[in-house]
């Protein structure tokens, strides 16, 4: 088991280095650059821009810039924001809680509804419920996140007035119920695609397990159907779901970016878009690296849980 975990950690570190190289190169080779905002200032000369570039270290070759940034990153110095000179870790930390709150809520909704729909669809195969679940999943996978968010705002905020149209809380009210009230619409929008994915995977996994010989043996031994379903079938059907949980992290992060923008949610997704607009590259790279670490850790944990649940997966 230790050898298995060590191998996965080494692979994750190599992949993280490749992500940092590609992200840094693409970001700094894109048209414009962080100095473009200074060129728009009236009275700014080329000499002034060259001086600012020297102060920011942008006049050195790109490989040297990357090496200096990466070495500081390993020492815990993620740099300072170009916009307000605040440490990147402080800027990300101020938005991290909102994003995690949204992602955790959406994940719980997706797992509970997705697993229930998938299990019921497998048990009642080819029933009206199964057909409705399949059609609903296809519709959910086809709807763009931003469009569904705008529809939610138009119907439940503008027309009915049931839900707030955006923000994380009401000004002057920081109660738990106020936070939960503002969380309803964005979490449902973010969870929509995940519910469809979880339900389809859970249904397929359940059908695969139901047809196995040990399930027929359990029924032949006279075990109650409830015991066969929950103790034997679901325990084995949930194993692929552990891997799916790790693979869905990038989808959640990308969905959170769109959802936070639509609902003006003060999280990392909105911060990422704002930083791109201001060409605040240290913050953009910080969010990129943090997201990459989050995804890799999620996949690593999923692999470890799968290896614990099924010893055949281990390499040693």
For 269-309, what is each residue's pLDDT tens digit?
888 888 887 888 888 888 888 888 887 877 777 667 666 66
Tally of CB atoms within 10 A around 187: 24
Mean pLDDT of the chain: 81
Tally of CB atoms within 10 A around 95: 20
pLDDT, residue 311, reads 60
Four-point Cα dihedral 250, 102, 190, 8, nearest 10: 20
pLDDT, residue 310, reads 60
Euclidean distance between CA atoms 66 and 23, whole angstroms: 10
Euclidean distance between CA atoms 183 and 169, whole angstroms: 9
* Under 8 Å between Cβ of 27 and 280: no
- Burial tier of 65 (Cβ tally within 10 Å: 0-12, 13-18, 19+): middle
Please list the helix, strand and coil fractions of the chain in percent, rounded to the nearest 5, in that order.
75, 0, 20
Span between the terminal Cα atoms of the chain, in Å: 6
With left for phi above 0 and alpha for psi between -120 and 50, is residue 63 left, alpha or beta? alpha
pLDDT, residue 238, reads 74
pLDDT, residue 312, reads 58
Residue environment code for 35-61, b if the CB has 16+ CB neighbours within 10 A, otherwise e: bebeeeeeeeeeeebeeebeebebeee
Q: What DSSP designation does 171 have?
A: T
Q: HEC profile for 244-276? A: HHHHCHHHHHHHHHHHHHHCCCCCHHHHHHHHH
pTM of the entire predicted model? 0.78
Euclidean distance between CA atoms 219 and 16, whole angstroms: 48
Euclidean distance between CA atoms 297 and 147, whole angstroms: 31
For 226-255, what is each residue's pLDDT tens digit?
777 777 777 777 777 777 776 677 767 777
| Residues in Cβ contact with 167 at an 8 Å cutoff, skipping those fewer than 6 apart | 182, 263, 264, 265, 266
Euclidean distance between CA atoms 308 and 239, whole angstroms: 10
- pLDDT tens for the chain, residues 1 to 316: 677 677 777 888 888 888 888 888 888 777 766 766 666 667 777 777 777 777 777 778 888 888 888 888 888 888 888 788 888 888 888 888 888 888 888 888 988 898 889 888 888 888 899 899 889 888 888 888 888 889 989 998 888 888 888 787 777 776 778 888 888 889 998 888 888 888 888 888 888 888 777 777 877 877 777 777 777 777 777 777 777 776 677 767 777 888 888 888 888 888 888 888 788 888 888 888 888 888 787 777 766 766 666 665 554 4
What percent of the chain has a predicted confidence (pLDDT) above 70? Answer: 89
pLDDT, residue 76, reads 83
Token pair recorded at residue 6: 């060590």
Tally of CB atoms within 10 A around 133: 24
């Amino acid at each position: 088991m230790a050898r298995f975990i060590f191998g996965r950690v080494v692979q994750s570190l190599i992949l993280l280095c490749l992500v940092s190289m590609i992200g840094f190169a693409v970001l700094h080779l894109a048209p414009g650059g962080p100095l473009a905002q200074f060129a728009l200032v009236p009275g700014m000369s080329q000499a002034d821009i060259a001086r600012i570039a020297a102060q920011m270290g942008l006049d050195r070759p790109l490989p040297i810039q990357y090496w200096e940034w990466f070495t500081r990153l390993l020492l815990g110095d993620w740099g300072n924001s170009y916009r307000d000179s605040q440490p990147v870790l402080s800027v990300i930390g101020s938005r991290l809680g909102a994003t995690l709150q949204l992602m955790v809520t959406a994940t719980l909704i997706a797992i509970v509804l997705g697993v229930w729909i998938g299990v019921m669809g497998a048990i009642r195969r080819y029933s009206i419920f199964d057909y409705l679940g399949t059609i609903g999943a296809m519709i959910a996978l086809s709807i763009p996140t931003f469009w569904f968010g705008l529809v939610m705002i138009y119907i439940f905020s503008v027309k009915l007035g049931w839900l707030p149209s955006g923000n994380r809380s009401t000004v002057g009210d920081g109660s738990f119920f106020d936070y939960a009230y503002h969380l309803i619409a964005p979490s449902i929008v973010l969870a929509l695609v995940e519910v469809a994915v979880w339900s389809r995977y859970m249904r397929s996994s359940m059908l695969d397990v139901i047809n196995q010989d040990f399930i027929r043996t359990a029924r032949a031994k006279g075990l109650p159907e409830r015991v066969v379903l929950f103790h034997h079938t679901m325990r084995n059907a949930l194993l692929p779901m552990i891997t799916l949980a790790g693979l869905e992290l990038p989808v959640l992060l990308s969905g959170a970016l769109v959802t936070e923008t639509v609902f003006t949610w003060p999280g990392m997704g909105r911060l990422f878009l704002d930083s791109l607009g201001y060409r605040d590259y240290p913050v953009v790279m910080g969010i990129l690296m943090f997201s990459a670490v989050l995804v890799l850790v999620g996949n690593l944990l999923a692999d470890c849980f799968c290896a614990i649940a099924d010893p055949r997966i281990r390499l040693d």
